[in-house]
Amino acid sequence: MRRSHAVVVASQPGALDGVLADVLWHPFYRLTHETIRMTTWNDQQDLSAERRADTPLQTWSLALVEEDTARIGCRDGVFRRMDEGHLDAKDDHACGLQAFDLDHVLVWDTKRLSIQPSWTDFWDVARHPGKRGLRADPRGTLEVALLSDGVPPNAIYSQLSTPQGLDRAFRRLSQLRPYIVWWNTPAEAMRILTTGAALMGMAPTTEVLAANTLVGERFGILWAPRLRIRYNWVEPAHPARNVVDAASLRTWIMAPEQTQALSKGLAESQAPTTETRPALALDIAFWTNHLDEISPRFAQWLARR
């Protein structure tokens, strides 16, 4: 029997970890006797710092990241381009292997707020006093700032692509700044709400529905407009990791049986079948091209009090 050892996979902590463990990691262990050890990845992490060979990233076999992060990481030599046979032939910019899409939604505490709020209500602290939970990342946060200001979903990126539209999003955030509780991981997003630290927040649906199973449907979900974020599996470019383990795990998770099982496992975290309005997908090309210039501005804005 092959001696058991850990294969390191990085992702953001939260309810999704349980789905991945049930659908992918536990079956992989039963087949190979190789343990998957999860470690924390912060998708806002500075990729330029990860080029060093002595960073923890270099010991990972796989990481789960947002697709624009995957593309930026490949461009900058942090992640390696995966086997071309797995990539979408129509997408010359593809880097990692497509994992899944997750929706991020407006969530509110129904014990403290009896109405269904909109993104405009999210900003209206006069009518609905209380803190708001938002992601400490421009991606998604700038989009909902514009949604709250009356910009229709199909005009979000035409706005953000102009200096005036970007200024408008930051001005809108500034109006809410004193009331924002910031989060960095999905687990933090829901903890802010379950502990009562915020009245409303933005959070992945996986976190909201997992929390509702524990606390009796306490949290309401605004299904439209919701944000959809695409995630990829990526591999570090540096050869310090065990490339045989990485290849074995990559082949396992991309097999049809596993991709179908994962889709089924995540199905309950998506919009109900009665919801026909499409989600607003975060524009991967926009953020791949503009994250490097918008992130420093966002960090400077966050640092101001």
- Domains in the chain, start-ordered, CATH in brackets? 6-100+230-269 (3.40.190.10), 103-228+276-303 (3.40.190.10)
On whether the CB atoms of residues 76 and 51 are closer than 8 A, the answer is yes
Q: What is the pLDDT of residue 132?
A: 98
Among candidate residues 23, 12, 9, the one with its CA nearest the CA of residue 268: 23
Whole-Å CA distances, 143 to 9, 75, 84, 158, 222:
30, 25, 32, 11, 15
Q: What is the pLDDT of residue 67?
A: 94
- Report the predicted TM-score, pTM, of the whole model to 2 decimal places: 0.90
State how far the Cα of 161 lies from the Cα of 148, in Å rounded to an integer: 18
On whether the CB atoms of residues 109 and 197 are closer than 8 A, the answer is no
pLDDT tens digits, one per residue of 114-151: 999 999 999 999 999 999 999 999 999 999 999 999 99
- Tell me the torsion sign for CA atoms 234, 237, 240, 242: positive
State how far the Cα of 116 lies from the Cα of 91, in Å rounded to an integer: 39
Secondary structure of residue 197 in the 3-state scheme? coil
Mean pLDDT, rounded, of the chain? 87
Both tokens of 248, joined, read 């074995």
Between 14-28, 46-60, 125-139, 265-279, the lowest mean confidence (pLDDT) is in 46-60
Whole-Å CA distances, 131 to 147, 180, 278:
19, 6, 28
Number of H helices, E strands in the chain: 12, 10
State how far the Cα of 222 lies from the Cα of 104, in Å rounded to an integer: 10
pLDDT-based confidence at 78, cuts 50/70/90? confident
State how far the Cα of 50 lies from the Cα of 58, in Å rounded to an integer: 8
CA angle 219-225-230, nearest 5°? 90
Among candidate residues 12, 213, 202, the one with its CA nearest the CA of residue 105: 202
Instruction: Give residues with Cβ within 8 angstroms of 85, minimum separation 6.
Output: none
pLDDT tens digits, one per residue of 157-212: 999 999 999 999 999 999 999 999 999 999 999 999 999 999 999 999 999 999 99
For range 42-49, the mean pLDDT = 61
Secondary structure of residue 128 in the 3-state scheme? coil
Whole-Å CA distances, 210 to 60, 93, 183, 214:
27, 34, 18, 7
E-only strand ranges, 129-197: 132-135, 180-183
